[in-house]
Amino acid sequence: MSQKVFIYDTTLRDGSQMEGISFSVEDKIRIARRLDAFGMDYIEGGWPGAAPKDTEFFARMRTIPLTHAKLTAFGSTRRPHIRCEDDPLLAQLLEAGTPAVTIVGKSSAWHIIETLRIPLEEGLAMIGDTVRYLKAHGKEVIYDPEHFFDGYKENREFTMSALKAAADAGADVLCLCDTNGGTLPHEISVIVADVVKTFPNVTVGMHPHNDGDCGTANALAAVQAGSTHVQGTVNGYGERTGNANIIPIIANLRLKMGIDCLTDTAVSQLTELSAFVDEIANLTPISRAAYVGRNAFTHKAGLHADAIAKAPRAYDHVEPSAVGNVRRLLVSELSGGATIAAKAANLGYALDKKSPEAKAVLHEVTTREHQGYSFEGAEASFELLLKKHTGRYRKLFDVVAFRVLVEKRSGDPEPITEATLRVRVGGEEMLTVAEGDGPVHALDGALRKALTRFYPELDEIRLTDFKVRVVTTGEGTAAKVRALVESTSSHGDSWTTVGVSTNIIEASYQAIADSIEYGLLREQGPK
């Protein structure tokens, strides 16, 4: 491993500026503790004094010691033309009681003149005075020169003098900010190398934003040029298009570049960390996210599946388990026999890719997808097909008939929905009626009422999600629709089934019936 690179997480401050995110104090504490357990070097908790939640967070964290990370408070240089001792925000920064502080200051001559409207000399004094004041109070000081790269390209002499003011005052880290996120990797390499050469006795860091979709690349380019401190956010949270995503940065540094940052154990927890923070932020995980997304190691083409069956890493750039992810094979009309066989093997079925069973399954998948089915996100429906063509299927029930009525009377706040169902189990028939909040809910209730007497394990199964998509656009209300039903068991398992029809009720029924049948077969086990 080469020289150590320190990883600085700013999810709780910069990340919280993303639209749709509003962390509570409890949320921030939970994330901070998880980042610490993960092994993050620095955790930036927020800006004390600027937001009441951040002030409370730091007060609470005084009683929650971290085992690895340095908790860091964020603030700005003193205000123009006042002493540091008289600046209330600096006072609150010290009151946060963190071992490290990060200070943002203007390093662009244009910004000092046009936005602060003060002389350049005062801008430099604000930087030096603030760093010197915080060092005198025993703090590790990380200086974030705002708009550094834009300022460098416009006026290198002044921008480097801003860094010199911080370095001469004792700053421990000069963390170069690509605040507008528009600098390209080849520019980063040249500029960071210049800073590293100019300030050989100070740690040089990198704080990229992702406006040009180069956040990760810019972080890696900075490290190649000599930066040993990188800042980012989990899942790339941040305002506008987001900050650099610390997840792929860590994975690339450790797995691809052999850089000493965090540990292999930490890297193997990246997928879990990503999902944990998304859950607290109440955001849907991005399935296409590098390394940790559900689709990051998912393969659909038959050619790929055939190669993977022979050599698992044939189409994966790293072993999925290295980042805590898993390899997945999708079944679709693009699949070949190798995909069917490999997918079957993952589900515990020994199936030769040239066998009649594999060919029959492939034919049915292809035929159904032409009709509008999709088995990519409905693996339970695919496994039912597999059972039927390999002799492992048991018919548990038949729905002889069903009827769904929706009635809206004047004055009723909501329509009344009622489902009537006739079901045959063995030689016995049952007629049941159930009301529900809509036709899908009513159908599910009626089917459960009919089957629970025969299969009490049905109480362990719950429908948790329902989605409908139009398959054939341009046909208006006569369009074919695809219904997806997600269900879970009391054991924590989940599965998805699919139904397709021009009638949304019929499509929903197909998906519900498959879901219940699949769940019951799982509960009962092989017989």
Residue 312 pLDDT: 65
Distance set, CA 513 to CA 157, 264, 285, 487 (Å): 72, 44, 28, 11
Q: Are residues 108 and 142 in the same domain?
A: yes
Confidence of residue 478 (pLDDT cuts 50, 70, 90): low
Average pLDDT in the 332-354 region?
63
Q: pLDDT tens digit string along 216-233?
A: 999 999 999 999 999 999
Closest Cα partner for 251 from 238, 233, 263, 237?
263
Q: Are residues 248 and 312 in the same domain?
A: no
Q: pLDDT tens digit string along 149-205?
A: 999 999 999 999 999 999 999 999 999 999 999 999 999 999 999 999 999 999 999
User: How many Cβ atoms sit within 10 Å of the Cβ of residue 382?
Assistant: 26
Give 145's strand partners: 105
Residue 359 pLDDT: 78
Confidence of residue 306 (pLDDT cuts 50, 70, 90): low
Q: pLDDT tens digit string along 435-473?
A: 988 888 898 899 989 898 898 888 888 888 888 887 765
Q: pLDDT tens digit string along 262-300?
A: 999 999 999 999 988 988 898 888 889 999 987 887 776
Distance set, CA 80 to CA 117, 189, 351, 428 (Å): 10, 33, 74, 86
How would you class 161 by CB atoms within 10 Å of its CB: exposed for 0-12, middle for 13-18, buried for 19 or more?
middle
Q: Are residues 154 and 87 in the same domain?
A: yes
Q: Are residues 231 and 347 in the same domain?
A: no
**Strand stretches in 218-351, DSSP E:** 229-232, 298-299, 328-329
Q: 416-425 and 398-407 as β-strands: parallel, antiparallel, unpaired?
A: antiparallel
Pick the last residue of a domain from 379, 410, 441.
Answer: 379
Question: In 3-state terms, the chain is what percent helix, strand and coil (to 5)?
Answer: 45, 20, 35
Q: Are residues 34 and 106 in the same domain?
A: yes
Q: Which helix (H) or strand (E) holds 105?
A: strand 100-106
Closest Cα partner for 121 from 106, 134, 136?
106
The CATH number assigned to the domain holding 58 equals 3.20.20.70
The whole model's pTM is what? Answer: 0.71
Q: 461-470 and 70-76 as β-strands: parallel, antiparallel, unpaired?
A: unpaired
Average pLDDT in the 367-385 region?
75
Across the chain, mean pLDDT equals 87
In this predicted structure, the answer to whether residue 373 has a pLDDT above a threshold of 50 is yes
**Residue 182 to residue 465: CA distance in whole angstroms:** 40
Residue 159 pLDDT: 96
Q: Are residues 197 and 318 in the same domain?
A: no
In this predicted structure, the answer to whether residue 483 has a pLDDT above a threshold of 70 is yes
Does 429 reside within a domain?
yes
Q: Are residues 446 and 364 in the same domain?
A: no
CA 225 to chain centre: 29
Q: What is the DSSP letter of 264?
A: H
Which spans in 169-269 are helix H? 185-198, 215-224, 246-251, 264-267
Closest Cα partner for 37 from 4, 57, 9, 13?
9
Q: Are residues 448 and 482 in the same domain?
A: yes
Q: pLDDT tens digit string along 395-409?
A: 888 889 999 998 877
Tokens 């502080």 locate to 101
Confidence of residue 333 (pLDDT cuts 50, 70, 90): very low
**Residue 91 to residue 26: CA distance in whole angstroms:** 24
Helical packing angle, 379-389 and 504-524, nearest 10°: 70
Percentage of the chain exceeding pLDDT 90 = 51
What range does the domain containing 503 cover? Answer: 398-524
Q: Are residues 244 and 370 in the same domain?
A: no
Residue 426 pLDDT: 86
Closest Cα partner for 185 from 228, 227, 229, 145?
227
How far apart, in Å, do the first and last CA atoms of the chain sit?
Answer: 53
**For residue 420, which amino acid is it?**
T
Q: Lowest mean pLDDT of 104-108, 166-170, 342-346, name the range.
A: 342-346
Percentage of the chain exceeding pLDDT 70 = 89
Q: What is the DSSP letter of 245?
A: B
> Which position has the higher pLDDT, 375 or 521?
521
Does 389 reside within a domain?
no
DSSP string, 157-190: HHHHHHHHHHHHTT-SEEEEEETTS---HHHHHH
Tokens 């921030």 locate to 28
State phi, psi for 499 to the nearest 5 degrees.
-140, 150
Distance set, CA 128 to CA 75, 124, 125, 449, 519 (Å): 15, 6, 5, 75, 66
In this predicted structure, the answer to whether residue 331 has a pLDDT above a threshold of 70 is no
State which of 140-154, 341-355, 409-423, 427-441 shows the largest mean pLDDT: 140-154
Q: Are residues 364 and 403 in the same domain?
A: no
Does 384 reside within a domain?
no
How would you class 468 by CB atoms within 10 Å of its CB: exposed for 0-12, middle for 13-18, buried for 19 or more?
middle
Q: Are residues 462 and 335 in the same domain?
A: no
Residue 157 pLDDT: 96
Does 270 reside within a domain?
no
Q: Lowest mean pLDDT of 30-34, 101-105, 457-461, name the range.
A: 457-461
The CATH number assigned to the domain holding 489 equals 3.30.160.270
Q: 173-178 and 203-208 as β-strands: parallel, antiparallel, unpaired?
A: parallel
Q: 70-76 and 481-489 as β-strands: parallel, antiparallel, unpaired?
A: unpaired
And the tokens for 117?
A: 């409207």
Give 231's strand partners: 8
Does 267 reside within a domain?
no
In this predicted structure, the answer to whether residue 309 has a pLDDT above a threshold of 90 is no
Q: Are residues 225 and 360 in the same domain?
A: no
Q: What angle do CA 104, 107, 110 make, to 5 degrees?
A: 125
Q: How many domains does the chain have?
A: 3
And the tokens for 48?
A: 């004390």
Distance set, CA 263 to CA 41, 60, 167, 238, 446 (Å): 11, 29, 30, 26, 53
Average pLDDT in the 1-22 region?
91
Q: What is the DSSP letter of 15?
A: G
Confidence of residue 56 (pLDDT cuts 50, 70, 90): very high
Q: Which helix (H) or strand (E) holds 461?
A: strand 461-470
